Structure 1
Amino acid sequence: MARPRAPSTTAYYQCDTPLVPLQQWPSLLIELALARNLPEYRLLRGTGIFIDDVMSERLLTPIQVFQLIHNSQRQRGYEQCGYEELRFLLGNHIFPGHYGAASNALVNAAHLYEWLATLVRLQRLLFPLLQLRLELGPERVYLYWRDSTGAHEACDFLSDMLLSGIHSCVRWLSGKAFDWQLQLRRLRPAYYEQYELHWGEQVQFGSLWNRLSLARSQAFSPWPHASTKAFTSAEREAQQQLAQLPEQQSFLAALYRYLEYHLLQPEAAVPNLESTAAAFCMSSASLKRKLQKHHTHFQAIYDELRRALALEWLGNQSLPLEQLAQRLHFHDSANLRRALKKWTGLTPQALRLESEQTPTQRGSIFCSSDS
């Protein structure tokens, strides 16, 4: 079997790269916030955005977007004006959006799985601030996501907006409701009623995963107005647009892929800060600064990846704990047990039982250039 191709460590966008069109959903966020009587100077403070820019073709950096999101939230004297519903209202309008060929591909998808797969493949054009992964299990389809641009406090807002966009758009295109199950790692928020309004009772907080899932049979049920010819043409054009971009993945996504690649190679050395920095053609100090700019650090990224792989392998493979510890580069199984307890609050035995209930097949569809 051929050795998997090493992921790219050179072409990536960062939290200060202009990539989000202001005239798309950021302008709608501004409109919704102003309609709730949030003063313009508070909303735009620190963003570098002027109200006259709203309908321009200007691109915002993720940092500017995160500041705008922050300003639209808990402002003094503004708490009772419905700020918590902004993310859900905004999400209802982001897909299919006005992204040219990428939006046309979404509109003409044959079924839900093809729609989700298209969203993941074209996420650089459609929603580049989170890293998405689609996996196909024996009975269910799973969509996972994680922060990809240093969103930090804005990550929950972005994920709620993304999920509302998915829910709204697929219901519009299919003409029917789906039996979604939504699992979130965060604790139950004060605005829980908004989730009940949009998702019903199928929301679980304090979960092991951030993921959205539904039955496989529903995911492949044909949609009434799909066009294979239009979809193929739009997908081809969108892929050509992607190929012309200087970068197709974020820095954090590139880092996750690099570390995952080395963790999945049995003979590979343990990845560390120094070797990773060298692979990204920078010094260790530069890598630390870049990670700090994205509100994280090397060990946090490494542990997050090992946590995800541990959950997957505990459910999909009957590996002895010692072997699992070795594959994840722990000194022994006792260290792995302590790490799992710290990360999840559960023992390996309890995690194996939990994970076995929802097995998946790795690598169905990831994002961008390394798919």
Structure 2
Amino acid sequence: MSTPTPVVFAAVFVSSLLAAAREQGYAIEGFLREAGIDPQQPQDLDHHVTVDQYAALLRRTIAGLDDEGVAMFSRKLRRGSFALMVRSALTGGTLVGGLYEFTHTLRLLQDDLNPVLLDDGHRVRVELRFSNPQMQARQFAHELILRQLWRFMTWLEGGNLRPVGVDLQFPRPDYAGDYQKIFPTEVRFSTPHSAVWFDSQALQAPVRRDSSHLDAYLDKSLLDLLVPAIPARVGDRVRAYLQEERALHATWPDLEQTSAALHCSASSLQRHLAQEGASFQNIRDSLRRDWAIYRLQTTKLPIPVLAEELGFADSASFQRAFKRWTGQPPGQVRKGL
């Protein structure tokens, strides 16, 4: 059976994850090796890691530091802190009550962050208000906490809840395109506070989980943090369809095949994608890029064979496209295998 197309992140996310631990003098090279990441690989926009490597690195760093805050807070969030927050939320009755209990417990466990719950009758939002300027300056702190809030609330609701938007206090980075992999909703940058927004009415629903579901959730929560599984936007549905077809049939459907599978015309699909700031070609190319990087870094597959896997007419066409996607020739990415 063919494996699913791996999700690939720019390696700059690795640098963000490890920044606080590095600054405090922790030896992090072992964490990288155990996650299958070469410590000598530059952690920049031109190099990539798979989501499995990234999740393994996060898991290993938490275990090695005994800190679920990965050295960002002034006092450790020792392992078990997240489970404690989740257990408190299960007593909330409604989803908004669970969100309040979760954020209240987070405040009790550390002194650097005050997550404020606000409701204007239409939207509920959790704003991140920092008392520690050093932590506030870390983009990863904003990303990790908001992802945690979002994915936890989705689990608490039963799997279908999604936020209506995410605000990030820092300026739009060069790698903002990768944010759609972890925040597949409207993302706004340079806002007064980082925040995650939910529909108020949706949060009046009852909590649909109990302690019997807890162990299974905690076992997969790190990977769930990184790859939200709800294909809510049209672009997410397109991406999910393309990944499924590649996994099942080793093919990359074109626009007409994809629109037919999603029960709409090609022009309608393109229009909906454009409203989300996306295009079919960009989504398809990003998946093919990720698959190419994964195959180059994990196999010795000849370039012409990989080009055929990706649906290119010949090796030269693939190499031109790959250099356009990544700024590097395929051989440079494979170097050192």
Query: Which TM-score bucket, shorter chain as reference?
Result: 0.3 to 0.5
With CA pairs under 8 Å and 6+ residues apart, which has the higher RCO, 1 or 2?
Answer: 1
| Superposition TM-score, scaled by structure 1 size | 0.38
For normalisation by structure 2, the TM-score amounts to: 0.42
